[in-house]
Amino acid sequence: MAVRSILKGLTGAVSSRADSGPDHGDVAVIRAGDADRRLQVLDEFEKAGMGWIWATDAEGRLIYLSETAAEKIGRPVDLLLARPLVLLFETDPDNPDDKSERPLNFQLNAHSKINDLTVRVVLDGGSSRPAWWSLCGHPKFDKGGKFEGYRGSAKDITVEYERKLIDSRMAEYDALTGLANRHRMVRRLDSILGAYRSAKRSCALMMLDLDRFKYVNDTMGHQAGDDLLRQVAERLRNIVGDRGEIGRLGGDEFQIILPDLDDRGKLGELADKVIQIVSQPYPIDGKRAIIGTSVGIAIAPYDGIEREEITRASDLALYAAKNGGRGQFRFYSSDLRDEEEERALLLKDLREALASEQLQLHYQPVVRTSDHVVVGFEALMRWEHPERGPVSPDIFIPAAEESNLINQLGEWALRRACADAASWPETVRVAVNVSAVQFNNVNFVSVVTNALAAAEMTPDRLELELTESVFMGDSEQTDRTFQSLKHLGVRLALDDFGTGYSSLSYLRSAPFDKLKVDKSFVDSCTQKDQNSAKIITAIIGLSDALGMETTVEGVEAFDQFHLVCEKGAKYIQGWIYSKALPASIVAERMRSGELKIEPNGPEIHRPERRSVFRRVGVIHDDHRYEAVMRNLSRTGAMVEGLVGVPVGTGLVLDLGEGQLAVGIVNRSEDLMIAIEFETPLVGDGAGGLCTRHRVSPYALAAAGMPLAALPPGHYPLALNEGGRKSKPQFMQVVVAGMG
């Protein structure tokens, strides 16, 4: 096709305006028939760089492009002609002007008019610098209405567009960390959930905030806090990679969107990794800041299908994780209540408990392995709430730390422990846990001194158990406190050694008398393919080399006991000797001279099978039976309430909220059956168990599952139709106490 023909439609407007109007005298007016002059004007227009002209045939192949445009692309015109236009340009998905803009390919195929469409130039080996153009185009049809291609214009808008991108980034990204801000995360989550709803796809949402961040800000300054947030953001990027999008919502709150991920095993592993890596010490201005994090997880569509629902669910899961002891993750479940209100009520009750002496100290023996003689006790706080029942220290201690109630709580514990230990034999010490907040209080040494004086107890019988978080504050103040305590004569123990990121510099700079090996190493020390036994050996060897004592915590079975003794353990604290005992029982034993405890426990340590007593559904064929689950482990469950179930029967155990565990009966006796799961359960982050996946209600309906078997959720009304197709094969019996 001749260039004159291609350009005719583009120049007609110029000629028509020139043909009409008054006589311009000596002005060289371009007349309609003066094609050469019209082409000359267009040529000058192109060379001036104000814009370019392009054209395609009916198949979308380029049949004309201005030479200056080809130069910009970095290819000779001859190599560009006959190539499809869509191979040269692509619609920019990050266009800040219009996020809903239809792709170029769609508009070309629809033969739509193209008005100032922003496209990115696909350079394929040309200049490495990105370029953006604005395209306009008109579809051309012959007299019979047959499409003949496009005639269009283009101009380079790279400078203006890059400026818009910068402005857009400032509006959508956090200036401090470079992560997406709240505005972008809201928009992204709305977009993903909207698209995934019709496609029946899943999306996980993680919420996390930083434990003890406020303490870093207060003790090290806001600049240190900003530096810490930047480092946290970088660690999150390294962990998550391209699996999801990370946002900072403000302060120390972060959010992670994880499309197409509903495997709670993988989500739990990712959350564990986030907690582990974020909790590593941070180098800031020559000091080390130590924080932690908690994670709440919700998954669409199971926990909600709208952004507000899924965000609320992940928030509740986060609060549950924090109130469950921090440094944990928690999946959302429908029984989670408003944890903000719960925490406020908890603190109110804790203040009342402290004032009314509801709190108690129980004491767990520390025993010398060579002769099984008690050498000390660790004081452990217990709270029996008049309505809640027993409240775990993992719940109320972190709440007390955030509210500064920990100083009063800690002083009470020190005074009570010293008063109780004063009546014990002189050879028996008492150990008291001290929080970082308490340790870094300027009055802490005075509190210790007064507690010893009030009890008239010698200082070397008091052992203060500290964690590495005490090094997070002012290093000079920390050193002064250590010196004062050693001058006073009390003993110092480094608790949970090896579980965080303990630095040997702590042992060099702080005058510790003891290292405590954490229970987590003991739990797995007898398992194959675990390094726990080697780590225990290394800690004991290090402690001996430094002239320190070592206490191994959490020994429950004889296989663990023999292993740690073989590795050199001289002191053990664990259930194989005794659980924590009330002060009255300890005092009675001390008065009677019972200082020796023989080890007593199971021969082999086995992972705990959790005792439960709750109603569950048992599904067989197209029937659902009600039964009672007596216990639950990762690999199976004991269920009561069905008669006549043969061994080898395949069943589905409905654990609620879409959790269906497929299994086979491997034992059947009277009303009781044992079910072995096809796929092991995974941890829920709160000490419980859950299925890796929840079954989509749509998949259940497609499989013909009865409506009663479906978990709570959003269902079409059509699922209420239909009935059972066969007779039940087993007899259901009401279990006493569960009717």
Residue 721 has a pLDDT of: 41
Q: What would the DSSP string read from start to end of 81-125?
A: TTSBGGGTEEE-TT-SS-TTPPPHHHHHHTT--EEEEEEEE--TT
At 395, list the tokens.
């719940």
Which class for 529: exposed (0-12), middle (13-18), buried (19 or more C-beta within 10 A)? exposed
At 529, list the tokens.
């393919």
Residue recorded with tokens 């004062």: 484
Strand spans (E) along 392-452: 429-433
668-695: burial string, b at 16+ Cβ within 10 Å, e else = beebbbbbebeeebbbbbbeebbbbbbb
Q: What are the C-alpha distances in Å from 732 to residues 143, 612, 627, 629, 630?
A: 79, 20, 8, 14, 16
Q: Give the 3-state secondary structure percentages of the chain, helix then strand then coil, rounded to 5.
A: 40, 25, 35
Residue 317 has a pLDDT of: 92
Domains belonging to the chain, first-starting first, are 49-164 (3.30.450.20), 173-336 (3.30.70.270), 357-591 (3.20.20.450), 610-732 (2.40.10)
Cβ atoms within 10 Å, residue 345: 11
Integer Cα distance of 63 and 282 in angstroms? 60
Over the stretch 684-739, which tens digit does the pLDDT of each residue have? 876 788 898 887 655 555 555 544 444 444 333 333 344 556 788 888 888 765 54
Residue 12 has a pLDDT of: 42
Q: What are the C-alpha distances in Å from 84 to residues 58, 80, 107?
A: 11, 9, 14
At 558, list the tokens.
């004889």
Profile the chain (739 residues) by mean pLDDT over runs of 10 residues. 50 40 52 69 74 92 90 85 88 57 79 89 64 92 93 90 77 89 92 84 94 83 92 96 93 95 93 92 84 92 90 91 80 74 82 90 96 96 87 83 86 96 95 91 94 96 88 74 93 80 64 89 78 88 90 92 93 94 93 90 72 81 86 90 92 84 91 92 82 70 50 38 66 70
Integer Cα distance of 296 and 552 in angstroms? 32
The answer to whether residues 84 and 76 touch, using CB atoms and an 8 Å cutoff, is no
Name 64's bridge partners. Answer: 55
Name 643's bridge partners. Answer: 731
Alpha helix segments (H runs only) across 35-92: 35-47, 67-73, 77-80
- 514: Cβ contacts below 8 Å, ≥ 6 apart: 463, 491, 492, 493, 494, 543, 548, 549, 550, 551
Which class for 180: exposed (0-12), middle (13-18), buried (19 or more C-beta within 10 A)? buried
Over the stretch 128-168, which tens digit does the pLDDT of each residue have? 578 889 999 999 999 999 999 999 999 989 888 888 877 76
Integer Cα distance of 108 and 59 in angstroms? 10
What single-letter amino acid sits at 482? F
Cβ atoms within 10 Å, residue 278: 23
Residue 19 has a pLDDT of: 45
Integer Cα distance of 229 and 251 in angstroms? 9
SS3 label, residue 207: strand
